[in-house]
Amino acid sequence: MPSQRAVRQPPCMGLAANGGAASLAIMDEHADTGGDADAEAHGLRKVIHIDMDAFFASVEQRDDPALRGLPVAVGGASARSVVAAASYEARKFGVRSAMPSTRAARLCPDLVFRMPRFDVYRAVSGQIRQIFLDYTPLVEPLSLDEAYLDVTADLRGIGSATRIAELIRQRIRDELQLTASAGVSYNKFLAKLASDQNKPDGLCVIRPGEGGAFVRDLPIRRFHGVGPRGAEKMASLGIETGGDLAAQPIELLRRHFGSQADYLYRAARGIDLRPVRPDRKRKSVGGERTFQHDISSGPALREVLDHIVEIVWARIERAQARGRTVTLKMRYADFSLVTRARSVPAAVTDKAQFSAIGHALLEDMLPLPQPIRLMGLTLGSLEGEGEEQPPPPASPQLALF
Ligand code: TTP
Ligand code: MG
Ligand code: MG
């Protein structure tokens, strides 16, 4: 008798890189959510999530053939550096994003380190975005290498989300010599899970009715929006999987997870009502630092500003943010707050310019009337927000330290 303990197949139709047209056609009959009003009334959309494979590392391998097939880490090799991206060859050794570089080098002695080239990654990001926009105006970027697309009513009348996902993957391969993975489903939550399922160079479709089963055995840390701390808290409540989460009453989720509770409650059932938001308005990007001891001397202030520039610029890069206004904020020892802003005609495009504007604002304020306990720097007036100058940021920015 054959064993009854069959390996559980994820309810996801994966396609290998060269998935044949025949299998696509068969999938399409079932995969798409249908553009009819009935489906939409139930919150069903046709959503694709695209995510580039080992993005920074793949771009480095593309641009330097000597790196192809080798374990590559993008990031500094020094003791204080971390790996930003690891090629799939490097991942076989356990090398991962955010790992200290020294640990990565221990795991994989032949690891080749390359410094990041953000300008190139940004340019590629713009190119993939242009490809997406050929199929739908409803494109919501999540980071440089990924985006949600709502193709419920695609611009080319293709009708099949799976077909569109394959066309996009093929175009990324042909036009950019890079690979992307795609998830196709009826909402954002499931599409994002799906794009991760058959990485690299994979496609996964989660059809209507399959979401609940897909989520049931899913480790909770794979839920988009549940960070490492959230996962820890879940674990302390005995919630390890989507199924565990689905078993919790909404009241308990509200008590422990506040405003995220409704999202989690639905996600545990494969439901997500969030629309794909094109050109999501970005908040200003910034950061601030509160000092252990108040400072007032010019050299100390400049040094602190340099440090803040480094950290905030990294955030700007990550958020792919654009802005024309730099705002310097300082809180004096007596807690009074002062902000100074300067705008430039075109978006600030490099760190040196960002730093120079911040320093000019600081120099204008020296000497300070009293020591400060906090300094912050923000890039605002983000493109896509119209021509209006936004007010200086009123909301508290995330603390840097
Ligand atoms: P990801 O899409 O998370 O990862 P990836 O594209 O490298 O690999 P995967 O095939 O699993 O999608 O991130 C995209 C890029 O963002 C990544 O190439 C480098 C950068 N990044 C960091 O700089 N730090 C990080 O901690 C992570 C996760 C990514
Ligand atoms: Mg990626
Ligand atoms: Mg990504």
Q: Whole-angstrom Cα distance, residue 10 to residue 256?
A: 30
Alpha helices in 136-210 (DSSP H): 161-176, 188-197
Q: What is the pLDDT of residue 42?
A: 55
Q: What six digits make up the tokens of 161? A: 């989300």
Residues of the chain with CATH 3.30.70.270: 7-206
Give CA–CA dist 19/17, Å, rounded: 6
pLDDT, position 323: 87
User: 242: part of which helix (H) or strand (E)?
Assistant: helix 242-246
Cα dihedral sign, 68-70-72-78: negative
87, 96 contact by CB (below 8 A)? no
Name which of 285, 288, 319 is nearest 305 in CA terms.
288
pLDDT at res. 345 = 86
Q: Residue 51 carries which DSSP code?
A: E
CA dihedral 382, 383, 389, 393 (to 10 degrees): -10
Domain with CATH 3.30.1490.100 in the chain: 285-380
Task: Catalytic residue, from 60, 140, 146, 210: name it.
Answer: 146
Q: Which ligand is nearest to the CA of 200?
A: 1
pLDDT of residue 60: 98
Q: What residues does ligand 1 touch, defined as CB less than 6 Å away?
A: 51-56, 84-85, 97-98, 145-146, 199-200
CATH class of 217-267: mainly alpha
Query: What fold does the segment set 7-206 form as a domain?
Result: Alpha-Beta Plaits (3.30.70)
CA distance 184 to 206: 6
Residue 21: Cβ within 10 Å count: 9
285-380 maps to which CATH number? 3.30.1490.100
- Locate CATH 1.10.150.20 in the chain: 217-267
- Give the angle subtended at the CA of 220 by the CAs of 283 and 57, to the nearest 5°: 60
The number of the ligand 1 atom at minimal distance from the alpha carbon of 57 is: 18
Q: What is the DSSP letter of 125?
A: H
The Å distance, Cα 144 to ligand 3 centre, comes to 7
What is the Cα–Cα distance from 164 to 154, expressed in whole angstroms?
9
Name the residues around ion ligand 3, CB cutoff 5 A: 51, 145-146
On whether the CB atoms of residues 339 and 328 are closer than 8 A, the answer is: yes
Query: Running along the chain, 401 residues long, what does each successive block of 10 average in pLDDT?
Result: 40 42 29 42 83 98 98 93 96 96 98 95 94 93 95 95 98 98 97 97 96 95 90 96 97 93 95 85 78 94 97 83 90 91 88 97 95 94 40 31 29
* pLDDT digits 0-9 by tens, 250-281: 999 999 999 899 999 999 999 999 999 886 55
Q: What is the DSSP string of 129-157?
A: HHHHHTT-S-EEEEETTEEEEE-TT-TT-
